[in-house]
Amino acid sequence: MPLLINEVKRKLSYSMSEEIYITIIGGGVIGCAIAYEISKESKKNIVIIEKNNQIKGENQSSRNSGVIHAGIYYPKDIEPLKARLCVEGNSLIYEFCNKYNIPHKRTGKLVVATNQLEEEYLEDTYRIAQENKVPGVKIIDCKEVKKLEPNVKALSALYVPTSGIIDSVSLTDKLYRIAESFGAMFLVGNKVVQIEPFRNDFQVTIKSNNGTEVFRTKILINSAGLYSDEVAKMLNSGSPFEMNPIKGESAKFYRTKREEISINGLNIYPVPFGYILDGQRLNVHFKEFQKLYREGKISKSVGVHLTPTLDITGSNYSIGDTVIIGPAYSKPNGKEDYKPTRDEKYFLDIINPLFPYLKLEDISLHQTGIRAKLKDHNDFVIERDPKYQNCVNLIGIDSPGLTASLAIAKYIKQLLEK
């Protein structure tokens, strides 16, 4: 059970300590994974402060596509942390899921090229996958695609066997419960509103419905998701990072409704492409895309894709009937603007080139999430604050943050041990 501040204080006084050793701000999948990893071996006081009233990953950690990424999208020289932590996180997440019976499935993925321009992008994705040492990736022709997914239209495709799906809420919940059983204290319904340096420590002010409280901590970990840029600036107003949040909307259909819209259960993606802020696709030749991307002028998107879901009954789970189409990107009005702006026709048109037999009446709207995308920066930012070395910031942990969560947690533990 998450705690109240006076319960945290009582626990601290039992352990004869005046202060909290490590404070983690944000109880999404990243904060919970870090709490899990650190509390496994440390007897130090660890408190996780979460502004929502429960640890349920209510922000990005539940409003995502639930795809276990393989690590094929991130060039090492442009996005080194995503490249490394996604591939590492991929195998860690399967290991964790098998150990704790977290609903998941290694479905495999097809990245589909439907014309010659897209084949250029496919070649490049294959190159990145090889550079990142993603196992088992191969280019297959349209006949092989048909054998795997008969209703997908493709000229050729990349087959990625280590891609999968996961119930992200179950993952976050398990990490939280294990960390709590190791002694980590989860304080919910409390928002961090001020952080000040205090001698060698930090003084943190939190606000809840019951008023404000102040406590001291030796180490601060900022894993506040969409608000991580603001939290970093609370301590150091010179922190250069600024969020440029992206809304991702999705729709759904039922794969057993008609034979020609059934899928066997692979993740089915278009080729990754450049996009501009309103979600528009940039239809340029690959070399031009590459130049703009390297200059940081555009972001790369994995594109609107088809993702199977899991049916979960008690401790049993299997691939369900519902297939998600998304995320379709647009610019939100603020960090929690979950209002849908795309209609069913948008999803039909965008998925049609690779999945042509869907009809408008098959589609209904599903959910909206907001990605913690950074302005002018594509990689994760995971670093100590330059002025206050005992504060570690995790900023811009957008996709593939879910996949990378356990690898990020190990990375943080190593950083703290240095």
Element (H, E) at 346: helix 344-351
Query: Considering the rule CB under 6 A, would residue 308 count as an interface residue with ligand FAD?
Result: no
Residue position matching structure tokens 């001020």: 194
Binding-site size, ligand FAD (CB under 6 A): 42
What does 164-201 look like in DSSP terms, one character per residue? EEE-HHHHHHHHHHHHHHTT-EEE-S-EEEEEEEETTE
Residue number, 250 or 290, with CB nearest to ligand FAD: 250
DSSP letter for 226, please: G
Residue number, 223 or 290, with CB nearest to ligand FAD: 223
Q: Please, which residues bridge with residue 48 across strands?
A: 24, 186
Sheet holding 299-301, edge to edge: 281-282, 273-275, 299-301
- Region from 112-120, 212-220, 347-355, 366-374 binding ligand FAD, contact rule CB under 6 A: 366-374
- Region from 140-148, 209-217, 292-300, 401-409 binding ligand FAD, contact rule CB under 6 A: 401-409
Query: Considering the rule CB under 6 A, would residue 272 count as an interface residue with ligand FAD?
Result: no
Residue numbers 232-251 binding ligand FAD by CB under 6 A: 248
Residue number, 49 or 156, with CB nearest to ligand FAD: 49
Residue 386: what are its φ and ψ, rounded to 5°? Answer: -60, -30
Residue type at 288? E
Residue number, 147 or 375, with CB nearest to ligand FAD: 375
Q: How far is the CB of 220 from ligand FAD (least distance, A)?
A: 12
Cα 101 to Cα 192: distance, rounded to the nearest angstrom = 33
Residue number, 71 or 156, with CB nearest to ligand FAD: 71
Q: How far is the CB of 155 from ligand FAD (least distance, A)?
A: 25
Residue numbers 48-77 binding ligand FAD by CB under 6 A: 49-52, 57-61, 63-67, 69
Task: Please report the sign of the dihedral spanned by the C-alpha atoms of residue 113, residue 117, residue 121, residue 127.
Answer: positive
> Which long-range contacts link 285-291 to residues 24+ away (Cβ below 8 Å)?
285/117, 285/120, 286/117, 286/120, 286/121, 286/124, 289/121, 290/124
Nearest to 203 by CA among 16, 390, 35, 34: 390
Query: Considering the rule CB under 6 A, would residue 27 count as an interface residue with ligand FAD?
Result: yes
Which position among 145, 342, 398, 411 is part of the footprint of ligand FAD (CB under 6 A)? 398
Per-residue x/- marks for ligand FAD, 198-237, CB under 6 A?
Answer: -------------------------xxxxx---x------
Query: Considering the rule CB under 6 A, would residue 342 count as an interface residue with ligand FAD?
Result: no
Query: Considering the rule CB under 6 A, would residue 402 count as an interface residue with ligand FAD?
Result: yes
Cα 402 to Cα 166: distance, rounded to the nearest angstrom = 9
Residue number, 290 or 399, with CB nearest to ligand FAD: 399
Is residue 405 within 8 Å of residue 33, measured between CB atoms?
yes
Binding site for ligand FAD (CB under 6 A): 25-31, 49-52, 57-61, 63-67, 69, 191-192, 223-227, 231, 248, 327, 369-371, 397-403
